[in-house]
Structure 1
Amino acid sequence: MAITLPSTAILGAGSMGGAILSGLLRPDVVVDGGIRVTNRTESKAVALRHGGVTSLATEIDPRANASAVAGARLVLIGVKPHMVVDLLREIGPVLDADAVVVSLAAGVTTATMEAALPDSVSVLRSMPNTPSVVGLGVTGLSAGSRSSDDDLALARALFEVVGDVVVVDEGRIDALSTISGSGPAYVFYLIERLQEAAVGLGFTASQAATMVQGTFRGASGLLAASDLLPADEAPAELRRRVTSPGGTTERAVAVLAEGGLTELFDRATAAALERNREIAAQG
């Protein structure tokens, strides 16, 4: 079944904006009115001119951003946080009255964005993560004070082309970023450490990578396939099924628990949240 979205502009089609673009180019996604994207350089713009995408470079055309948003119902802001307000002021006069503007920028509040745009324009804030690049992302989405339920549904549909969406109050978006936003790094860090442990047991680096990365992929796949278990209970239940009483896994898990792994994750996510707030305050 095809997913239909209205005309869409992506301003700053870098890594995350580019990931969203890839999702929009899926065969089962139809974008009525077309897709327009911008980048600073012509070299980056050229690389995105495929699949009917209109790709503009601001170094060639200073009005590229304004041209991209003209007639666009959905406008995704993918520039760096310190550039967001100036960009919104630039495009504000040419946005359609019913445009829905969604920001990818960390630390820039919907109130700040609304102040830079005409009163008729709806604003939402998003926090996608890097697995969006392979269509397995998790995006946090928060509505602004002027956005309707329909606007929220439209933004949600946009991010669902690259994964799952969690709608939260804006006051929770920074906390969400410490879990799903930073979360891939935590997983990669665990993979690094477990591979090092495997090498320490005498396996080659290649063997360690095969074992550890295959195990993470398999465990994630098993979790995803556990439809009969409640989502909040599935990880614990699957762990119990691997952990035979009195066995080797039970002893290893006990060491992890005794080492304070739960408290360590609490401290790590709290540190990430504190840093997120520091960055927001600097902006």
Structure 2
Amino acid sequence: MSTTIAFLGCGSMSEAIMAGLLRSGFPAGQVRATVRTTARAAWLADTYGVTATATEDTDANVRAATGAGIVVLGVKPGLVREVAAEIAPVLAPDTVVVSVAGAVPLANIEAVLPAGQPVVRSMPNTPARVGYGVTALVAGAHATPPHLQAAKDVFATVGLVVEVDEDQIDAVGAVSGSGPAYVFYLAEAMAGAGERLGLPADLARTLAAHTVAGAGRLLDDPDADPAALRRAVSSPNGSTERAIAAFEERGMRDVVAAGTAAAEARAKEITHELG
């Protein structure tokens, strides 16, 4: 398998993955990227030293994919099949095609690629930008363990990698894919609560942001247990225990469960809408 990696559609998520790969020591000369505009292509080339071209040149995706060992499809979900079909004629039999687009099943991608082409579906999240991402991978029908390992090696440069079945991917997206937004929402709510208690807005935001970030670092321990960490902060009959009791009385767990269920349901709807 060639060691060249092509990122077709290098938006914020693909850029984060590419940056992590380069930080790990992967040679910039073996990375290609395609983007929509020449300005963005020039910026990527100047910033990372990779070969970047704009799809204003209609052959950009084909040239980037030719001879690549891994091709990362980072375009919008509605364009995944179109781009996959575009590059199909130039893919080597062992080129691993990795999709980072949500809501596009493996079978839909495999259907427009050469028979037997290895495909891996991924579900990364935004903390990949700072090396603390979570990426779930699903192996396609023709992806062997070495193919899957090649994809794992790429995503491991930006955080934790787990392997799941495809029927679990929407649930994974509802927890880790959308999860950062839930945490940011909690930080917003904490800051707002601090303001209502009389704190200046800037101070309340700073306290909330750093508290959430610090709590995340505590959870980063492989042996960390969220429930045990919560109990350690909650002294019997203390103020924290009173706050947790208020959350429980108002059904916070049910609210979180309802939110993740809604996210999973919407992911399935989007898949259906995309056909």
TM bucket, shorter chain: over 0.9
**Is 1:91 aligned to residue 87 of structure 2?**
yes
Question: What residue identity is the alignment partner of 1:133?
Answer: R
Q: Please, which of 14, 18, 21 is the counterpart of residue 17 of structure 1? A: 14
1:232-243 equivalences under 5 Å are 234-243=225-234
Say whether the 8 Å CA contact 1:88–1:116 is kept in structure 2. yes
In the alignment, does 2:208 pair up with 1:212? Answer: yes
1:55 correspondence with 2:46: no
Q: Give unpaired runs (5+ residues) of structure 1.
A: none
DSSP 3-state at the match of 1:37: strand
Counterpart CA distance in 1 for 2:193 and 2:49 is 48
Measured after TM superposition, the shift of residue 217 of structure 1 is 1.6
1:252 pairs with 2:248: no
Q: Could you tell me the percent identity over the aligned residues?
A: 48
Per-residue deviation at 1:82?
0.8
Conservation of the 8 A alpha-carbon contact between 2:28 and 2:50? no
> 2: CA distance between counterparts of 1:74 and 1:248?
53
Paired residues for 1:46-195 under 5 Å = 46-50=42-46, 51-59=48-56, 61-195=57-191
Deviations 1:202-225 (A, max 9, x none): 11011101211121122112222x
Aligned residues: 272
Bigger helix fraction: 2
CA distance in 2 between counterparts of 1:32 and 1:219 reads 35
Segment of structure 1 superposing worse, 47-56 or 181-190: 47-56
Q: CA deviation at 1:196?
A: 0.5
Query: Which residue identity lines up with residue 140 of structure 2 in the other structure?
Result: G
Q: Is the 8 A contact 1:6 1:33 kept in 2?
A: no
Could you tell me the TM-score, scaled by structure 1's length? 0.93
Question: Residues 41 and 58 of structure 1 are in contact (CA less than 8 Å); yes or no, is this contact kept in structure 2?
Answer: yes
Q: Is residue 270 of structure 2 the alignment partner of residue 282 of structure 1?
A: no
**Residue 52 of structure 1: how far off its partner (Å):** 3.3
Match for residue 5 of structure 2? 8
**By how many angstroms is 1:32 displaced?**
8.7
TM-score computed with the length of structure 2 as normaliser: 0.95
Report runs of 4+ in structure 1 exceeding 3 Å deviation. none
Q: Provide the C-alpha distance between the structure 1 equivalents of 2:194 and 2:273, rounded to a whole number of angstroms.
A: 42
Give the 3-state SS of the residue equivalent to 1:97 in structure 2. Answer: coil
